[in-house]
Amino acid sequence: MDRGLLGMGSIGAQPAADTTALMGSAAGLTDAEVMLRVKAGDESAFEYLVQKYRRSMVGFMYRMSHNAAAAEDLAQEVFLRVYRSRSGYEASAKFTTWLYRIATNLAVNHARDTRNERPEKMASLDEPDQETGSTMDVADGSPTAEETILRRERMSAIRAKVQALPERQRVAVLMHKYQQMDYKQISEVLKLSESATKSLLFRAYETLREQLKEFL
């Protein structure tokens, strides 16, 4: 097997130092070129892509699924699917377009499957946040308990309002606002024209502006 970019082991075996070296060796390559090396059997090239996109993928999946554990599972599944599909990969589109198309399909299917498993939650001081697992810190004075409650209410409202958007609007907003993707990239993932994507986003943000008015 071609040990390629680094000549290293599999994912997780040698994390930090090797990854840094890997980033350096792949610096001149586009993601599509790196993916073509994965296709050719270069395992370290795949690790490079995982390390590059794991954070953004977990973030995207978290905002789609509203559940930290599910987000990690889904992000891992995205990378597994990328790996499984490596032999059929064609560098005809940007790698991120392909990656987010896989991620969007997975996330949307997960959201549909678990639609009835996620009741609306109220902010509570006594219970830990079921999405992040963190408990509300009210012991020290900064921020105050009231501020913390208000902040949690705001977070809850943002999550609920984004969640309530139509599917495509929701995906578009998450990619635009949190993944820093431009109109062209979003339009390619959603298979829409750029102007349709812009219009979709405008409608989504208009809805959010109206519905989050009390928090502005």
Find tokens 């890997």 and name the residue.
22
> What is the spatial distance between Cα 63 and Cα 65, in angstroms, rounded to a whole number?
6
**Of 84-113, which residues contact another protein (CB under 8 A)?**
84, 88
Angle of helix 31-39 relative to helix 43-65, nearest 10 degrees, comes to 120
Our finding on whether 202 is near another protein (CB under 8 A) is yes
Closest CA to 4 of 52, 51, 36: 36
What end-to-end distance do the CA atoms of the chain give, in Å?
56
Our finding on whether 1 is near another protein (CB under 8 A) is no
Our finding on whether 152 is near another protein (CB under 8 A) is no
**Of 35-74, which residues contact another protein (CB under 8 A)?**
50, 54-55, 58-60, 62-63, 68, 71-72
Q: By the 8 A CB rule, do 91 and 33 touch? A: yes
CB of 189 to another protein, least distance (A): 18
> What is the spatial distance between Cα 202 and Cα 198, in angstroms, rounded to a whole number?
6
**Residue placing its CB nearer to another protein in the complex, 121 or 198:** 198
Provide the token pair at 130. Answer: 């079921």
Our finding on whether 155 is near another protein (CB under 8 A) is yes
Interacting residue ranges for another protein, rule: CB under 8 A? 10-13, 15, 50, 54-55, 58-60, 62-63, 68, 71-72, 75-76, 79-80, 83-84, 88, 132, 151, 154-155, 158-159, 162, 173, 177-178, 198, 201-202, 205, 208-209, 212-213, 215-216
